């Protein structure tokens, strides 16, 4: 009975989310197509980021679409994730790095598992390295993505830096992030960055910032490029396909 009620509530939430998909979600969804890789960049431990990502997934899957969801969890956890989706283990059996792990993230995984068990065409893959791989993290993520023998689109939730499609490094040595590696290999990549105006608000509203705007350039330079040994971008159209600005409501 509890399982039935949980499934019913999740389906109700899914239907409500689809019905109220907003302009920002629609901008992202309209660019998702077979063989494409869409990256939603985030700051970790932000519940509004998780809800936003879930809503995009739910809205896209309306109409019998298929989707591979890629997460910043070590690929060595894939078998455990598969067992969780099948209902063989609890969600707390999955090892998630502390910098990413929080209750909303695990609730998201539980929701995706319910969808999968209910017949929704969704795959959940862990793409991060686990410290034992011989190649660096972003290259490992690309390898996992390219090893997927499917044409269904990929939607990834990763830290904002991994979603940078181009960085003009000011020193020798640094190598491209995940999004840039994929794009340089000929993949169809769309990348969107979330930026918080103030991280102490009790509630937020989101705003779309076009990548060809001065505001997007300032936001990307101040929140991301400033963290790197890199030159500021005069325009961020090659860096991101759009910025989601979270403002206090």
Domain-by-domain residue ranges, the chain?
2-159+171-192
Q: What is the DSSP letter of 39?
A: E
Q: pLDDT tens digit string along 186-243?
A: 999 999 999 999 999 999 999 999 999 999 999 999 999 999 999 999 999 999 999 9
HSE, CB side, 13 Å, CA atoms: give it for residue 139.
7
Measured CA to CA, the distance from residue 162 to residue 129 in angstroms comes to: 13
In this structure, the dihedral spanned by the alpha carbons of residues 70, 190, 22 and 104, taken in order and rounded to 10 degrees, is 30
Quote the pLDDT of residue 195: 98
Measured CA to CA, the distance from residue 202 to residue 198 in angstroms comes to: 10
CA 43 to chain centre: 11
Q: pLDDT tens digit string along 44-56?
A: 999 999 999 999 9
Are 61 and 67 in contact, with CB atoms under 8 Å apart? Answer: yes
2-159+171-192 CATH pick, 3.30.530, 3.30.300, 1.10.3470, 3.40.50:
3.40.50
What's this model's pTM, rounded to 2 decimal places? 0.90
Q: Counting beta carbons within 10 angstroms of the beta carbon of residue 127, is it exposed (0 to 12), middle (13 to 18) or buried (19 or more)?
A: buried
**Averaged pLDDT for residues 125-154:** 93
Is pLDDT above 80 for 16?
no
What are phi and psi for residue 193, nearest 5 degrees? -115, 140
Higher-confidence position of 2 and 52: 52
Quote the pLDDT of residue 150: 80
Longest CA–CA separation in the chain, Å: 60
């Amino acid at each position: 009975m509890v399982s039935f009620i949980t499934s019913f509530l999740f389906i109700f939430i899914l239907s409500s989310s689809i019905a109220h998909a907003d302009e920002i979600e629609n901008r992202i969804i309209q660019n998702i197509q077979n063989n494409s890789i869409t990256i939603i960049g985030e700051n970790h431990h932000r519940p509004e980021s998780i809800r936003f990502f879930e809503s995009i997934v739910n809205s896209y899957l309306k109409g019998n679409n298929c989707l591979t969801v890629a997460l910043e969890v070590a690929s060595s956890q894939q078998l455990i994730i598969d067992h969780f989706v099948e209902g063989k283990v609890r969600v707390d059996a999955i090892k998630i790095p502390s910098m990413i792990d929080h209750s909303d993230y695990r609730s998201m995984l539980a929701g995706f598992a319910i969808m999968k068990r209910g017949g929704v065409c969704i795959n959940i893959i862990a793409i991060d390295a686990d410290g034992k791989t011989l190649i660096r993290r972003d290259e490992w993520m690309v390898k996992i993505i390219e090893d997927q023998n499917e044409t269904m689109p990929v939607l990834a939730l990763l830290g904002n830096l991994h979603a940078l499609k181009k960085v003009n490094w000011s020193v020798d040595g640094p190598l491209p992030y995940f999004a840039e590696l994929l794009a340089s290999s000929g993949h169809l990549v769309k990348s969107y960055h979330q930026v918080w105006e103030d991280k102490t608000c009790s509630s937020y509203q989101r705003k779309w910032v076009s990548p060809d705007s001065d505001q997007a350039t300032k936001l990307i330079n101040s929140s991301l490029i400033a963290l790197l040994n890199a030159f500021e971008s005069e325009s961020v159209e090659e860096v991101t396909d759009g910025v989601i600005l979270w403002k206090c409501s």
